[in-house]
Amino acid sequence: MKIIIEPNISDWANILNRPTQSFDELEVLVKEVFSEIKINGDAAIQKYTHRFDKIDISKISVSDSEIMEAIIKVSDSLKEAIKIAKSNIEKFHKSQIIDKKLIETMPGVKCWQESRAIEKIGIYIPGGTAPLFSTVLMIAIPAMIAGCKDIILCTPPDKNGKINPAILYAADLIGVRKIFKIGGIQAIGALTFGTKSVPKVYKIFGPGNQYVTAAKQFAFKSGIAIDLPAGPSELLVIADDSAIPEFVASDLLSQAEHGTDSQVLCVANSIEILAEIIKHLKTQISVLPRKDIARVALKNSKFIFINDLQNTIDFVNVYAPEHLILATESNDFYIENITNAGSVFIGNYTPESAGDYASGTNHTLPTNGFAKSYSGLSLDSFTKKISFQEISKTGMNSIGNAIEIMAESEGLQAHKNAVTLRLNSLNTNSNGKSDKK
């Protein structure tokens, strides 16, 4: 835990520096697994599931009866909670549908864009202690709204060859039925190349450990799009006297419990508030089941006193946090001036965990400073926009000459010819010889 008072602008970059990550050393392993999956398909998947997950899976696809069993196992209260989250996530992501807007840039020159779903997508859901069914919602719901045809979910089997019931329940509720018991590198490899059982996809979504991250980088190099570059999760809170220290402490801890490398920062214009927050942190952490993880993360946490609105937001924009909580009387100022952040939580009653689960926004967000250039997941992430143009004879007459001049200046005579032939035909055929349009 570092407490920093009014840092100099020249020190900001240093203070906000993140630990660098490199997965280069995993490349050899990823290459091995990928090339074997490319050649041996399902057999290679089974081999590596045996080696990495310590289990033999005879059938890698999840059956209907397994899904039915899972549905029975999930408690009614969790089902109800998931349905509320689903409804909110659906509402927010449906609001991102954009109407086609046709523009006539010149008379007779019509241009527009249309969205099309990415046809085949893969979802990776990690196994381990936290069964991330919430991530199933965050990826599969916008994929369904976009209209993705093939939605393939891979998640590692546990020691008994099973998948967490809540993951299967969430997938089934949304309508994802192609589910495979595959984890780690071999899951990403299967989605990249396709096997007899697992369809090849065009884009891979989902979090994972360093092996999954390295595999996704390799998938990207092999021509498969990926959702976002990965990094440890982050939260920055801006607080002032209007913040409730107990709440801020709970938010910082909900970040810290994610992993030992979680990034936890708090900026305030009041030393007293910072001290109060730290006091509550110490009380609250002691009862947490994941306190050992949170303690390591808090060791690297930073509490910064900056007594100026503009300096504060400049500092935050340099960091570009994944999650930003605004617990101040100047929230409007910060909303207007934030340029680099993944998702923003406004006011004392908007904890980060609301966005993680149920407010409706997406929880897959840019980490590691990528908020400077990347958005979090949204409906856009599951679609491409195709541009269309339709030029009438009138349009060709008005735009043709400009194209000819530019093409010639770039030394591309055939580009010019394509226009010249059309202009000539319009001038010589003005008697209507050809009525092809």
- C-beta of residue 231 within 8 angstroms of C-beta of residue 368: yes
- C-beta of residue 303 within 8 angstroms of C-beta of residue 271: no
Q: Which amino acid is at 411?
A: G
Rounded least distance, CB 200 to a copy of itself, Å: 11
Rounded least distance, CB 368 to a copy of itself, Å: 7
Which residue from 223, 286, 427, 432 is in contact with a copy of itself, where contact means CB under 8 A?
223
Rule CB under 8 A: which of 232-251 touch a copy of itself? 242-244, 246-247, 250-251
CA angle 228, 230, 236 (to 5 degrees): 100
* Contacts for 429 with CB less than 8 Å, ≥ 6 apart: none
Closer to a copy of itself at the Cβ: 48 or 369? 369
322 is catalytic: yes
What gap in Å lies between CA 237 and CA 254, rounded to an integer? 12
Rounded least distance, CB 409 to a copy of itself, Å: 5
Closer to a copy of itself at the Cβ: 46 or 362? 362
Note whether 312 binds a copy of itself by CB under 8 A: no
Q: How far is CA 371 from CA 135, 265, 327, 364, 368, in A?
A: 19, 16, 21, 12, 8
93 is catalytic: no
Which residue from 136, 140, 224, 239 is in contact with a copy of itself, where contact means CB under 8 A?
224
Note whether 432 binds a copy of itself by CB under 8 A: no
Note whether 419 binds a copy of itself by CB under 8 A: yes
Rounded least distance, CB 58 to a copy of itself, Å: 29
- C-beta of residue 281 within 8 angstroms of C-beta of residue 236: no
- C-beta of residue 121 within 8 angstroms of C-beta of residue 202: yes
What gap in Å lies between CA 176 and CA 201, rounded to an integer? 15
Which residue from 3, 109, 144, 296 is in contact with a copy of itself, where contact means CB under 8 A?
109
Closer to a copy of itself at the Cβ: 274 or 325? 325
Q: Sign (positive/negative) of CA torsion 208, 211, 214, 219? A: negative
What gap in Å lies between CA 339 and CA 316, rounded to an integer? 9
Which residue from 5, 29, 43, 402 is in contact with a copy of itself, where contact means CB under 8 A?
402
Locus of tokens 């209907």: 64
Rounded least distance, CB 93 to a copy of itself, Å: 10
Closer to a copy of itself at the Cβ: 109 or 275? 109
Rule CB under 8 A: which of 161-220 touch a copy of itself? 166, 202-203, 217
Nearest one of 173, 150, 159 to 127, comparing CA atoms: 159
Q: How many residues bind a copy of itself (CB under 8 A)?
A: 134
Note whether 392 binds a copy of itself by CB under 8 A: yes
Catalytic residue selected from 323, 336, 410, 415: 323
Query: Residue 389: CA atoms inside 13 Å, Cβ hemisphere, count?
Result: 9
Which residue from 37, 294, 306, 313 is in contact with a copy of itself, where contact means CB under 8 A?
294
Q: What are φ and ψ of residue 124, in 5° steps?
A: -105, 125
Note whether 256 binds a copy of itself by CB under 8 A: yes
Note whether 356 binds a copy of itself by CB under 8 A: yes
What gap in Å lies between CA 359 and CA 49, rounded to an integer? 36
Which residue from 35, 98, 271, 292 is in contact with a copy of itself, where contact means CB under 8 A?
98
Which residue from 71, 78, 144, 275 is in contact with a copy of itself, where contact means CB under 8 A?
78
Note whether 148 binds a copy of itself by CB under 8 A: no
Q: Whats the size of the chain, residue-wise?
A: 437
Catalytic residue selected from 322, 336, 390, 410: 322
| Count of H-run helices and E-run strands, the chain | 17, 14
What residues pair up with 153 in beta bridges, in sequence order? Answer: 123, 179
Note whether 119 binds a copy of itself by CB under 8 A: yes
Rounded least distance, CB 367 to a copy of itself, Å: 11
Rounded least distance, CB 319 to a copy of itself, Å: 13
Tokens of 369: 């400073």
List residues with catalytic annotation.
322-323
